Amino acid sequence: MRLGVLDVGSNTVHLLVVDAHPGARPLPAHSHKAELRLAQLLDDDGSIGPDGIDRLVTVVHEALQAAEDKGVEELLPFATSAVRDASNADDVLTRVRDETGVELQVLSGEEEAKLTFLAARRWFGWSSGKLLVIDIGGGSLEIAYGMDEEPDAAVSLPLGAGRLTAGWLPGDPPEAEDVRALRRHVRTEIARSVGDFSRFGAPDHVVATSKTFKQLARLAGAPGSAEGLYVQRELKRESLEAWVPRLAGMTAAERAELPGVSEARAGQLLAGAMVAEGAMDLFGVERLEICPWALREGVILRRLDHMGPA
């Protein structure tokens, strides 16, 4: 069957269309993206303003049209951190439902971490042993650890690259004092969760998902996306530590000129790099591997599991 997963994230609204059957690998058929940056459209009271809601409704309409054009049989719509944390989340969801007919499922941070973990486990398989999975989104950081498809520990922290950029790094390039303050904040938040994971022992394999990690790995010399999904891509902490001060001294426009860095994400790349560096340092990770699958694939896999054998 042809499934569509509609991901209303903190940075983008992304429709991924796949041909999927229970027991088979989902095959991508179409991708439709719109940059929305909801995490950066919050008003002072933490609500998504009228303009932001109007833009969201418009983008969801466009995604629905794309889904219809591509023959999607079932749509799986969900929202993550930006909608979940908005003070007017219920109003936003009601507007979207009333004007588009789409009932967005708001995933909790823990659900997000678990579904991302499921996708990574399926991608790397049982031979990868105990997995530690790290995902940096626009609004939150998810970390999960385990041996099975259901992680033993999973947390979500308000350390998304878009959220931190808007709240902590107003300058372009940012002031050194602001960078130091953000570094302290990031490491304090992550450190609170390290103990929840350390009692399970060291992981056999550490993997990361998300656009932020893909861009950081590309900066560190990993192959570009044109070389395909199955090329191994890794990020070493040593390389990341060298890049963070360089990124801190650049404007967003200068970062956008770097290999693999999109103009839309360049402004928040420094904050994302600082979160990645903090997580790798505090969890004692020297290197990690980039996983092509993430939350959207996890949502699809869970739906296929519930369908049972064909």
pLDDT per position as a tens digit, 170-186? 999 999 999 999 999 99
Give me the mean pLDDT over the 60-87 stretch: 96
pLDDT at position 24 is 86
Structural domains of the chain, ranges and CATH numbers in brackets: 2-106 (3.30.420.40), 109-295 (3.30.420.150)
pLDDT at position 36 is 87
Residue 308 above 70 pLDDT? no
Question: Model confidence over 228-272: pLDDT tens digits?
Answer: 888 999 999 999 999 999 999 999 999 999 999 999 899 999 999
70 and 30 Cβ atoms separated by less than 8 Å = yes
Question: Model confidence over 114-136: pLDDT tens digits?
Answer: 999 999 999 999 999 999 999 99
Q: Tell me whether strands 74-79 and 105-106 are parallel, antiparallel or unpaired.
A: parallel
Give me the mean pLDDT over the 147-166 stretch: 95
Query: Which DSSP string corresponds to the chain?
Result: -EEEEEEE-SSEEEEEEEE--TTS--EEEEEEEEE--GGG-B-TTSPBPHHHHHHHHHHHHHHHHHHHHTT-SEEEEEE-HHHHH-TTHHHHHHHHHHHH----EE--HHHHHHHHHHHHHHHH-GGG-SEEEEEE-SS-EEEEEESSSS-SEEEEES--HHHHHHHH--SSSPPHHHHHHHHHHHHHHHHHHHHHHHTT---SEEEEESHHHHHHHHHTTPPPGGG-TTS--EEEHHHHHHHHHHHHTS-HHHHHTSTT--HHHHTTHHHHHHHHHHHHHHTT-SEEEE-S--HHHHHHHHHHHHH---
pLDDT at position 229 is 85
Question: Model confidence over 33-68: pLDDT tens digits?
Answer: 998 888 777 777 889 989 899 999 999 999 999 999
pLDDT at position 309 is 58
Share of the chain above pLDDT 90, in %: 86
Residue 310 above 60 pLDDT? no
Question: Model confidence over 283-296: pLDDT tens digits?
Answer: 999 999 999 999 99
The Cα 142–Cα 31 span in angstroms is 24
Question: Model confidence over 186-234: pLDDT tens digits?
Answer: 999 999 999 999 999 999 999 999 999 999 999 999 998 889 888 999 9
The Cα 170–Cα 168 span in angstroms is 6
pLDDT at position 22 is 87
